[in-house]
Amino acid sequence: MTTKDLTQMTPPQVDKILAGYWREQSPLLHQKDGILGEIHGIKYPYSKTERHNYESPRSHKSKPEWKENRIAQLESALPELAEKIAEIDVKIAPYEAEYMRRGGWPRYYLVTSSSPGHVHNSRDCSTWNRGEYRTGYAWLIDLAGKSRREMIAEWGDVVCTVCIPEAPTLKEWESGTKKREAREAKEGGVCPLSGQVWTPRPDAPPDAPQRPTQAQCQLCKSQVKIDVRTRKIKTHNWPKE
């Protein structure tokens, strides 16, 4: 891609490419978080499961030798992960630079790791990443460059009022809510969480399964299957009315 090509791309075109790179990078970041989380759990056990595994005399994992070997094994995987993440960062850089060159444009994100999933205009919202796990989200690429009112006209009452405090006072709030509800209930519609990396709910108990084979979709409430290897949610439709 030449510089001229990049400068002539529309916001959705730029963000579509970026989204592909971020989807590629996301499981690597989750893997890194998982490794760091396990190391922290071994060193500073907090949950019931961690205390049982790493402090109980009955557990072989409580032995100093096991802990030392496991931490070394986990830490040995970090350099390769960091290298892969950095390689994708290099691919991302020119598209983010073009975004900055233009002074930025509106972007919107649908949270997929909690229910209800709100639509945000920034990943720096104070409600993001407040738990143990990163906030999961789907990037609403088709709305790239659209105004707040245009976005609210599509999503209505699930718009984050921390990001956009005035949203409920706008006329688009009600019409957007009706449009969203009709869209979600449309027969055969694919839930936006399909293909997204599954993350536990922020209020999930500490000993909840970290790699379940199925769970309730936090957006459409359907019971869905999850790929144990990739942790991605299988493609599924909105429930019929």
Chain-wide mean pLDDT for the chain?
A: 87
pLDDT band at 127 (very low <50, low <70, confident <90, very high): confident
Q: What pLDDT is recorded for position 131? A: 65
pLDDT number for residue 191: 78
3-state SS, one letter per residue, for 176-224: HHHHHHHHHHCCCCECCCCCCECCCCCCCCCCCCCCCCEEECCCCCCEE
Residue 128 or residue 186, greater confidence: 128
Least confident segment among 54-58, 91-95, 181-185, 203-207: 203-207
Structure confidence by residue, pLDDT tens digits, 148-199: 999 999 999 999 999 999 999 999 999 999 888 777 766 556 777 788 787 7
Which pTM was predicted? Answer: 0.65
Between CA 26 and CA 197 the distance in angstroms is: 8
Instruction: Encode pLDDT of 76-109 as tens digits.
Output: 999 999 999 999 999 999 999 999 999 999 999 9
| Percent of the chain clearing pLDDT 70 (strictly above) | 89
Q: Give the pLDDT band (50/70/90) at residue 42.
A: very high
Contact present, 156 and 123 (Cβ < 8 Å)? no
Name which of 169, 176, 182, 121 is nearest 154 in CA terms.
176
Percent of the chain predicted with pLDDT > 90: 51
Contact 69, 6 (CB under 8 A): no
Residue 47 burial (C-beta neighbours within 10 Å; 0-12, 13-18, 19+) = middle
Coil, helix or strand at residue 143: helix
pLDDT exceeds 80 at position 240: no
Q: What is the pLDDT of residue 113?
A: 74
* pLDDT value of residue 115: 62
